[in-house]
Chains A and B, each alone.
Chain A
Amino acid sequence: MTSCKPVPADDDDRVPTTFEERNTWWMAILVPVTTLAYFAVVIPRLWSRPAAEVAWVTPMLWAIGATFVGTILGSIVSAMFARDGHTESDVRDKQIVRHGDGIAQAVMGFGAAAVLVLAMVRADQFWIGNVLFLIGAVGTTWGAIAKIRAYRGAFHG
């Protein structure tokens, strides 16, 4: 696998990450940031009043909107500053994305079960909405981390 023969000169330059990997890194940062910002706003409200009276819908919509817009802006910036000029995905990118998305979906499946239990015990909408939001964020972040591990380490499909 390795050789003592010299490598062609062009192989020594810095290897940029692929467009897909840059987007994955951005997601792994953006989603936790917007989620933590949301909970930083909502959790203090929970200390002073019952959950049923806490206003959480508007902050959550802002967090979801910021994540959505941030994802689009991140992709645009990533494409604009792509050192290699390539934004298309190859087969390895697609396999890694599928691998990460599978992990994210497994986490979200667990979250769906948790939400179902909350609905069965007639928990307040606050808890149902926030657990669903949290699991969604955890699943997305976990999936992004799995993709980064696959990009940086070994991935055999």
Chain B
Amino acid sequence: MVKPTRVTNRIRVLRVEHGEMTQAELAERVGVTRQTVIAIEQGRYSPSLEMAFQIARVFKVPLDDVFQYPGDTD
């Protein structure tokens, strides 16, 4: 059984805040399938560091505004 990742993300919130961007639009801008965006949003897939930066760049925010790792600051 694969352990769930502790990394959380705010992709869904950021999409809504950025003109209700759809998963398909985000996927196209990052260069992945919509299924991959869905898996990342749901925490079922951990993107590479490069893809994480690409997602942050789409939203024009720092990486840790998109992805969080609980425990360090809690």
Chain A residues packing against B (C-beta within 8 Å)? 1-3, 5-11, 15, 17-18, 21, 84, 86, 90-93, 150-151, 153-157
B61 interface residue (CB < 8 Å to A): no
Q: Which residues of B contact A (CB under 8 A)?
A: 2-5, 8-10, 12-13, 15-16, 20-24, 31-36, 38-39, 41-46, 48, 51
Q: In the complex, are the beta carbons of B12 and A154 less than 8 A apart?
A: no
Main secondary structure of the interface of A (DSSP, over half): loop
B39 near A90 with CB under 8 A, answer: no
Number of contacts between A and B (CB, 8 Å)?
79
B36 lies within 8 A of A92 (CB): yes
Contacts of B10 in A (CB 8 A): 1, 3
A-B interface, 9 closest residue pairs, ranked by CB to CB distance from nearest = A10-B22, A8-B20, A90-B32, A156-B46, A1-B8, A92-B36, A154-B44, A154-B2, A5-B16
Q: Give B45 Cβ to nearest chain A Cβ, in Å.
A: 6
Q: Report whether B33 and A8 are in contact in the complex, using a CB–CB cutoff of 8 Å.
A: no
When the two chains form their complex, are residues B12 and A7 in contact, meaning their CB atoms are under 8 A apart? yes
Q: Is the CB of B32 within 8 A of A91?
A: yes
